[in-house]
Structures are given as C-alpha cells and as structure tokens.
Chain A
Amino acid sequence: MSCHLTVEKLVTLNERYHPFSDLTKDLSDLTDYPPKFHFSAKDNICALGFQARAGSKILDGYRPPFDATVVRKMREADGILIGKTNMDEFGFGTFCTNSAFGVPLNPHDVERSCGGSSGGAAAIAALLEKHVSLAESTGGSISCPASFCGVIGFTPTYGRVSRYGLIDYANSLDKIGLIVRAPSDLRRFLPIISGPDKKDPTSCVQPRLELDGFKVKSVAVPEEALRNLDPAVLQAFEAALGKLKEQGIEAHRVSMPSLGFALAAYYVLATSEASTNLARYKGMLFGVRGGHIDQSFNDYFSEVRSANFGKEAKRRVLLGTYTRMVGFRDRYYLKALAVRQLIIKEYQGLMERDDAVLTPTMPFIAPRFTEIAKMKPLEVYQADFLTVPPNLTGMPHISLPCGYHDGMPIGMQFVAPHWEERRLLDVADRWCGEFKIRFPGAIA
C-alpha cells in the first residue's frame, strides 16, 4: 500500500543500497485517497524541487528551473516523485560505478553491481513494491541494470517519449523508458509518458502508441549474439527458448553479420555527440562555478572541466572529440552513421519473417565490484555488445528476467521494429504469466 512508504524507510534503503542521489524529505502528498502512486526519476531527468546532477560533480547543487516533460506528465497523472536515482556520470558506464555521488549496490548481492547506467533506477524497482522508475537508455542503460537487478526494463522506440528535460548524453540515441516489476505497470505508465511534445521535435513524428492487437509467433535469434557468453547465461537463455516454444513462440536461429559493427558504430556516435553536449559545462551559467573569473576564458573553462569531470567522462570526451576532428570525421563519425543505417536494414530484414529479435541481455550476471576494478575500458565497452544494437537503431526493446544463477538474475532481451512496442508488451505478458520473478527481501 502506497501510504505505508515513509521517508524513514527510504532513508534506510538508501543507506543500505544507495539507489538515490537525491531524496524527498516529505511524503505527505502520497495518499491512498485520492490514490497516488510513487515514482523515481533517473538523475539526468530534470524535476523541480530536486537537484539534477546526472552523476556529475560539475552539476553539484544544480536545481533545474523546469520539469522534464515526462516528470510533468507523471505528476499530472497523480504521481509523487520520491527521489532522483543514481547513475553513471552522464550515463557513461555499464556498472554504475562512475557516479560522483556513490555507487548503488545490487539488492540481490551488495558485493555486486546494479548495472548501468540506470543502476539506481533498477535497484529501487527491485527493492520497492508498487514503484515505477523513470530510466533512460543510450546504449543499454535500461536493459543492463534491469537484467542485473532482475526486473523489467522497457526502452521505447527513439522519439516515443519526449526528451525535453533530459540531460543529454547522445541525442540521437537517448530514450527515456521504464524499469518496473510487472508488465501491468508497463501498460499503465507507457501511455502516460509517451506522445508528441512540441518541446522535443524528435517526439513529433510518432504514430499512435498501440498496446494490443499483436500476438508474437516467432523470434529470430542471431548466432552472433550467443558467442562469448558466460555458460550460465547461455544455459538460462536456451532454457528460456524452450519455455517460449511451449508458449507458442518459435525461435529461428539466424545470422546477423552487421552486429559485428554495432558496438564500434555506437561508441563513435555516442561519444561524438556526448563530447559536444558536454561542451556547455564550463562553470558559467549553471552548476559548479569556476575558480577565478579573472582568468583567460580558455584557462577558466579548462580548469573547471578538468577538476569536475570524472575519469570516464574525460575519456569519452576525448574519444568523441577525436572521432569528429578534421581528418578522422569521415572514417569514424560519418562511417558510423552509415553503419547505423546498415544495421537498421538488417533488423528490418529479419523482422519481415520473425516478429522480434531475441538475445540474452548481458553476457554475464552482475559482476562483483572487485572484478569490475580489473576491467580495461575496452572490456567494459564490449560488455554492451548485446544491448547496443537495438539502442543504436532506435528500436524498442525489453529486458525480462529469464533465469537465475547463484541467486543472481539473468535477463533476455526482445527487440521489435520501430513503433511496435505492443509486440514487447505481448511477450512480457505471456512470459511473466508463467515465470516467477524473485524480488530481494525489502526492508520491513
């Protein structure tokens, strides 16, 4: 019951798992009559009354002067925003270990990562009943943490949900979506957050959101997606294919050669765009101010940026600046744009026969922080190889829990054609009708 949620309970949860980077101090608006519901927003989604820091020290203390369109819509639908969820700085990460404001811990095992970058959003969805998390994905930031935390991560088609008020990572890839516990939450909240918004032109071309009227009969499973997997993940995935068959969903093994280019194309585009988006952080108009206004502007900007961006942010800004420089732009940036179209074509080809494409979500279960510390940047990037393709192509996708190993959840990810969110709702309903999702014991 929503009225049983108290600020004390949230504070206790936050002390134990750190899902929030900013938390409400008052829940008196959260009533049963009239019925209100509670939701959280990833910290890169602006909301009045809360800081919006996107995991970055450079935005410490920044209170945006407006609500993001999604937050406004959720509030208008009687939602109460209880907090901002922690994330990798500007979304730059796979394990939610790149935030300037602490690391959320996996509710299934606090020695393990929640996944990223919407780590806090997935953790709180796993911990709190009747909660809905507004999350955001650029290259897998909804699917990945949903998979690691054993909840449902839904990423709509690019442009389905207004990005007005979303702090940009990469504008051609960013999508606001939902992390929830049950398919019914998707049916309830997806229509609320979707729809054209004049403040985001890219949201204005969408066809109407359909929730029903499609029964998925078959899925394509690319062979390329089943290589380099943790055996436990492969085993759980194969088992899930068997259960899906019993539910009337046939799996066809296919080849999808363009998948081999997706990760590189994604990181080129994401960092190229990100490095321009982050140019605005210069210690002048909002967020952290620089040292001495008496400095030359180049020194002033450089110092505040160098002192306040984290390591991964610097790495991606450097990478993205490089890939769009004169002499490299054609080879990296323009080629990546062309490759994106190639992969879209290949997905569309596969989905002429099959209704969706299915892969595991992540190649392994949530890793321990000690393991993460040993990974090189490229290895971390490569962990995204299954979540990146649908994100690169802007296609809607869902991560559903499909098994457990060592008590840790394993996820599978369905991808549907542009604007065909209803196919994902169909598989979610059918799968969750039989599969029992395990939630970690919440704090009493």
Chain B
Amino acid sequence: MDLEEVKGVAWNARLKLTEEEMQEFAKDLEDVLSYFSVLDKAPDTGKHDFNPVPISNVLRDDEVARDVDAGSLRDSMDTYQDMVRGPRLT
C-alpha cells in the first residue's frame, strides 16, 4: 500500500495523518492486508447475511414515545436559538 493510497483512505475516514503516521500505517496495513488474502482461498458460500443468527421481521409499532427529555438533550449541545451550531459548509 503506497502513501497516496493511505492518504486517500484517510481522507475518506476524515483522518489527518502526520508523515510518520502515514509511513507506519502504510506498513501495518500492508502486513494485515497481505494476511487477509487468505480469504481469497476460502470457498464462497454466496450467503451474505449481516448477522450470525437470522433476524427477521422485528418491527416497532408507529407510536410516539419518549424516555429521554428532548430539552435536556438540546441543552447538552452547543446551540444558538435552539439550533445546533455546526461548522462551515464550504
């Protein structure tokens, strides 16, 4: 894995890495990914379940309920006129 590739992945994950970090991670990831290539040899079951046990049709009724006070949540955040402050969009 070259440094440019690490840089691209880091951007995707919104991580700013120092030069040393990038060098180090490039090597670590290289090691780990080459180990992961063992998966290429595994037979493909074609089953891509997201969970280890089947979970199906667990649904909630469409009812309004509240157990944490919205006001206290709002107070715990950085707000201006009850709107949450966020960074610049550009």
Q: Which residues of A contact B (CB under 8 A)?
A: 65-66, 157-159, 172-173, 198, 201-202, 204-205, 258, 260-261, 263-265, 267-268, 275, 279, 282, 284-286, 289-290, 293-303, 305-306, 309, 311, 314-315, 317-319, 321-323, 325, 331-332, 334-342, 344-345, 376-378, 381, 392-395, 418
Question: In the bound complex, do residue B54 and residue A338 qualify as a contact, i.e. CB atoms below 8 Å apart?
Answer: no
Considering the complex, give the chain B residue whose CB is closest to the CB of A342. Answer: B45
Contact of B39 among A198, A296, A331 (CB under 8 A): A331
- A106 CA / B67 CA spacing, docked (Å): 40
Question: In the bound complex, do residue B89 and residue A297 qualify as a contact, i.e. CB atoms below 8 Å apart?
Answer: yes
Question: In the bound complex, do residue A286 and residue B76 qualify as a contact, i.e. CB atoms below 8 Å apart?
Answer: yes
Given contacts A172-B50, A306-B16, contact A284 B84 (CB under 8 A): yes
Question: In the bound complex, do residue A65 and residue B72 qualify as a contact, i.e. CB atoms below 8 Å apart?
Answer: yes
Chain B residues with Cβ below 8 Å from A173 are: 52
Quote the shortest CB–CB distance from A93 to chain B (angstroms).
14
Quote the shortest CB–CB distance from A387 to chain B (angstroms).
15
Question: In the bound complex, do residue B77 and residue A285 qualify as a contact, i.e. CB atoms below 8 Å apart?
Answer: yes
Q: How many A-B residue pairs have CB under 8 A?
A: 178
Quote the shortest CB–CB distance from A65 to chain B (angstroms).
5
Chain A residues with Cβ below 8 Å from B52 are: 158, 172-173, 340, 344, 392-395, 418
Q: Tell me the B1-26 residues at the A interface (CB within 8 Å).
A: 6, 9-10, 12-17, 21, 25
Question: In the bound complex, do residue A205 and residue B6 qualify as a contact, i.e. CB atoms below 8 Å apart?
Answer: no
Quote the shortest CB–CB distance from B31 to chain A (angstroms).
5
Chain A residues with Cβ below 8 Å from B42 are: 258, 261, 265, 335, 338-339, 342
Chain A residues with Cβ below 8 Å from B10 are: 318
- B81 contacts the other chain (CB 8 A): no
Question: In the bound complex, do residue A306 and residue B88 qualify as a contact, i.e. CB atoms below 8 Å apart?
Answer: no
- A-B pairs with beta carbons under 8 Å apart, 8 shown: A65-B72, A205-B58, A261-B38, A279-B14, A285-B84, A314-B21, A319-B32, A337-B49
Quote the shortest CB–CB distance from B35 to chain A (angstroms).
6
Question: In the bound complex, do residue A332 and residue B21 qualify as a contact, i.e. CB atoms below 8 Å apart?
Answer: no
- A265 CA / B49 CA spacing, docked (Å): 13
Question: In the bound complex, do residue A321 and residue B39 qualify as a contact, i.e. CB atoms below 8 Å apart?
Answer: no
With A261-B41, A306-B16, A381-B32 given, name 8 new contacts (CB 8 A): A65-B68, A268-B36, A284-B77, A284-B78, A318-B25, A318-B29, A319-B29, A341-B45
Top-6 shortest CB links A-B: A394-B52, A300-B87, A201-B58, A341-B47, A297-B87, A306-B16
- A132 CA / B85 CA spacing, docked (Å): 42
Chain A residues with Cβ below 8 Å from B88 are: 293-297, 300
Chain A residues with Cβ below 8 Å from B44 are: 335, 338
Contact of A260 among B32, B38, B56 (CB under 8 A): B38
Considering the complex, give the chain B residue whose CB is closest to the CB of A306. Answer: B16
Binary contact readout B41-70 vs A (1 if CB under 8 angstroms, 0 otherwise): 111111111111111101010000001110
Chain A residues with Cβ below 8 Å from B36 are: 264, 267-268, 323, 332
Given contacts A296-B87, A331-B40, contact A394 B53 (CB under 8 A): yes
- A290 CA / B56 CA spacing, docked (Å): 39
Chain B residues with Cβ below 8 Å from A376 are: 28, 31
- A82 CA / B61 CA spacing, docked (Å): 36
Question: In the bound complex, do residue B13 and residue A378 qualify as a contact, i.e. CB atoms below 8 Å apart?
Answer: no
- A336 CA / B50 CA spacing, docked (Å): 10
- B83 contacts the other chain (CB 8 A): no
Question: In the bound complex, do residue A394 and residue B55 qualify as a contact, i.e. CB atoms below 8 Å apart?
Answer: no
Chain B residues with Cβ below 8 Å from A318 are: 6, 9-10, 13, 15, 25, 29
Chain A residues with Cβ below 8 Å from B39 are: 261, 264-265, 268, 331-332, 335-336, 339
Question: In the bound complex, do residue A65 and residue B16 qualify as a contact, i.e. CB atoms below 8 Å apart?
Answer: no
- A290 CA / B88 CA spacing, docked (Å): 13
Chain B residues with Cβ below 8 Å from A205 are: 53-56, 58
Chain B residues with Cβ below 8 Å from A335 are: 39-40, 42, 44
Given contacts A275-B13, A336-B39, contact A297 B86 (CB under 8 A): yes
